[in-house]
Amino acid sequence: MEAAPRNAEGMRSIAYSGTAADRKTNAALHKQLKTFVLHLIVTIKIMTDKKISYLPDFTLSPRIDQVGIEERAARITKRSIKKETKVNGLLLTLNMIDLTTLEGKDTEGKVKQLCYKAMHLMDVYEGLPTVAAVCVYPSMVKTAKKALEGSGIKVASVATAFPSGQAPQSVKISDTKYAVQQGADEIDMVISRGKFLEGEYNFVFDEIAAIKEACGEARLKVILETGELVTYDKVRRASDIAMYAGADFIKTSTGKISPAATLPVTLVMLQAIRDFYYKTGKMIGMKPAGGISKSKLALHYLVMLNEILGEDWMNNKWFRFGASSLANDVLMQLMKEKTGIYQGKDYFSID
Amino acid sequence: MATKNNTLKLKFDSARKYAPAPESKAAAKIDAKYDLFINGKFEKPLSKKYFATTNPANEEKLADVAEANAADVDKAVKAARNAYEKTWKKMPAKERAKYIYRIARVMQERARELAVIETLDGGKPIRESRDFDVPTAANHFFYYAGWADKLAYAFPNRNAHPLGVAGQIIPWNFPLLMAAWKIAPALATGNTVVLKPAETTPLTALKLAQIIQEADLPPGVVNIITGAGATGAAIVNHPDINKIAFTGSTDVGKIIQKAIAGTAKKATLELGGKAANIIFEDAPIDQAVEGVINGIFFNQGHVCCAGSRLYVQESVFKEVYRKLKDRLATLIVGDPLDKNTDIGAINSKQQLDTIHKYLKIGLKEGAEMYEAPCELPKKGFYCRPTIFTNVAQSSRIAQEEIFGPVLTIQTFRTDDEVLEKANNTPYGLSAGVWTDKGSKIFNMTTRLRAGVVWANTFNQFDPTSPFGGYKESGYGREGGLHGLNAYVNLV
Amino acid sequence: MATKVLSKKLKTQTPVAAKKATASERLEVLKTYKIYIGGKFPRTESGRYYKAQNANGHTLANVCLSSRKDFREAVVSARAAFADWGSRAAFNRSQILYRIAEMLEGRKAQFIEELCRQNISTTLAEKEVTLSIDRLIYYAGWCDKFQQVLSSVNPVASSHFNFSNPEPTGVVAAIAPQQTSLLGLVSVVAPIIAGGNTCVVLASYTKPLCAVTFAEVLNSSDVPAGVVNILTGKISELYPYFADHMDVNAVVFCENDADIKNAIQLKASNNLKRVIFYDKILWENIDAQSPYFIQDTQEIKTTWHPIENIGGAKAGY
pLDDT tens-place string over residues B439-463: 999 999 999 999 999 999 999 999 9
Of B3, B4, B290, the CB nearest to A72: B290
Could you give the percent of chain B with pLDDT greater than 70?
A: 98
Angstroms from B269 CA to nearest CA on chain C: 9
Contact call for A66 and C160, based on CB within 8 A: no
* Domain tally, chain C: 1
For B318-327, how does the pLDDT look when each residue is reduced to its tens digit (9 = 90+)? Answer: 999 999 999 9
Which residues on C lie below 8 Å from B261 (Cβ)?
Answer: 261-266, 269
- Give the chain B residue whose CA is nearest to the CA of C276: B266
Find residue B55's DSSP bridge partners.
Answer: B60
C-alpha B120, offset from chain centre: 17
Q: Does C159 touch chain A (CB under 8 A)?
A: yes
Task: State residue C22's pLDDT score.
Answer: 63
Question: What pLDDT is attached to residue C5?
Answer: 42
In angstroms, what CA-CA distances link A226 with A163, A236, B206, C310, C311? Answer: 13, 10, 51, 20, 20
Chain region(s) in chain B for CATH 3.40.309.10: 276-455
> Do strands B474-475 and B406-412 pair parallel, antiparallel, or not at all (unpaired)?
unpaired
Test B465 with C154 for CB contact under 8 angstroms. yes
Contact B284 A65 (CB under 8 A): yes
C143-177 in b/e burial notation, b at 16+ Cβ within 10 A? bbebbeebbbebebbbbbebebbbbbbbbbbbbbb
Chain C partners within 8 Å of B144 (Cβ): none
Any C CB within 8 A of B443 CB: no
Q: Is B270 a catalytic residue?
A: yes
Average pLDDT over residues B336-363: 97
> Does C266 lie at the interface with A, CB-CB under 8 angstroms?
no
Which among C266, C271, C304 has the least Cβ separation from residue B472?
Answer: C271
- Do the beta carbons of residue C265 and residue B258 sit within 8 Å? yes
Inter-chain touch C292–B158, beta carbons under 8 Å: yes
Mutate one of B6, B9, B11, B287 to test the A interface: name it (highest A CB count within 10 A): B287
What confidence tens digit (pLDDT) does each residue in C161-204 have? 999 999 999 999 999 999 999 999 999 999 999 999 999 999 99
Nearest to A260 by CA among A252, A251, A268, A269: A252
C312, part of any domain: no
**Cβ <8 Å between C302 and B467:** yes
Mean pLDDT of chain C: 91
Q: Write down which chains contact chain C via at least 3 CB pairs under 8 A.
A: A, B
Contact B464 C158 (CB under 8 A): no
Domain ranges in chain A are 4-55, 66-347
Fold of B33-271+470-490: Aldehyde Dehydrogenase; Chain A, domain 1 (3.40.605)
- pLDDT at site A28: 74
Q: What is the pLDDT of residue A24?
A: 64
Q: Is the dihedral of CA A214, A216, A218, A220 positive or negative?
A: positive
Catalytic-residue membership of A188:
yes
Q: What's the pLDDT at C98?
A: 98
Is C18's pLDDT higher than 80?
no
Residue C263: give its domain's CATH number: 3.40.605.10
How does pLDDT run across B460-482, given as a tens digit for each residue? Answer: 999 999 999 999 999 999 999 99
Q: How far apart are CA C131 and CA C120, in angstroms?
A: 15
The residue among C307, C308, C314 with the most chain A CBs within 10 A of its CB, best to mutate, is: C308
Of B452, B25, B443, which is closest to residue B276 (Cα–Cα)?
B452
Give the global pTM. Answer: 0.92
CB B135 within 8 A of CB B213: no
Active site residue B420: no
Could you tell me which residue, B390 or A17, shows the higher pLDDT? Answer: B390
Per-residue pLDDT of chain A (351 residues; tens, 9 = 90+): 344 444 434 444 444 444 555 566 677 778 788 878 887 787 777 777 666 667 889 999 999 999 999 999 999 999 999 999 999 999 999 999 999 999 999 999 999 999 999 999 998 898 999 999 999 999 999 999 999 999 999 999 999 999 999 999 999 999 999 999 999 999 999 999 999 999 999 999 999 999 999 999 999 999 999 999 989 999 999 999 999 999 999 999 999 999 999 999 999 999 999 999 999 999 999 999 999 999 999 999 999 999 999 999 999 999 999 998 999 999 999 999 999 999 888 888 887
Range of the domain at C257: 34-54+68-151+168-298
Q: Note whether A22 contacts C: Cβ–Cβ < 8 A.
A: no
Residue A250 CB: number of other CB atoms within 10 A? 30
Cβ-proximal residues to B384 (8 Å cutoff; 6+ apart), any chain: B333, B371, B372, B374, B376, B405
B286 contacts in chain A (CB < 8 Å): 62, 64, 68-69, 72, 271
* Cβ count within 10 A of residue A127: 5
Give C307's contacts in chain A (Cβ within 8 Å).
Answer: 67
Q: ipTM value, please give it.
A: 0.96
The arithmetic mean of pLDDT across residues B352-377, rounded, is 96
Rounded to whole angstroms, the Cα distance separating C139 from C97 reads 7
Q: Is the CATH code 3.20.20.70 the one for domain A66-347?
A: yes
Given a contact as 3+ CB pairs under 8 Å, which chains touch A? B, C
The DSSP annotation for C241-256 comes to HHHH-TT--EEEE-S-
Residue B6's pLDDT is what?
53
- Indicate where chain B has its CATH 3.40.605.10 domain(s): 33-271+470-490
pLDDT at C218: 98
- The arrangement of strands across the sheet holding A186-190 comes to A285-287, A249-251, A219-223, A186-190, A154-158, A133-136, A97-100, A321-323
**Amino acid present at B291:** G
Among the listed ranges A53-57, B203-207, B346-350, which one has the minimum average pLDDT value?
A53-57
pLDDT of C225 higher than 50: yes
- Over 80: is that where the pLDDT of B216 sits? yes
Say if residues A154 and A185 touch (Cβ distance below 8 Å): yes
CA distance A57 to A59: 5
Surface of B (119-148) touching C: CB under 8 A: 135, 139
B341 vs A67, B18, B124, B352, CA distance in Å?
23, 10, 9, 18
C314 in contact with chain A, both atoms CB, cutoff 8 A: no
How far is residue B105's CA from residue B254's CA, in Å, rounded to a whole number? Answer: 36
Mean residue pLDDT of chain B comes to 96
* C242 inside domain: yes
Q: If interface means Cβ-Cβ distance under 8 Å, which residues of chain A face chain B?
A: 51-54, 62-65, 67-69, 71-72, 78-86, 88, 271, 274, 277-282, 306-307, 309-312, 314
Written as one string, the DSSP assignment of B365-421 is TT-EEEE------SSS-----EEEES--TTSHHHHS---SSEEEEEEESSHHHHHHH
Strand-pair category, B430-434 with B276-279: parallel
**Among residues B304, B305, B374, B383, which one is catalytic?**
B304
Q: Report d(CA B292, CA B459) in Å as an integer.
A: 9
- The pLDDT value recorded for residue A53 is 66
Please determine, looking at this structure, whether the domain spanning B276-455 carries the CATH number 3.40.50.10490. no
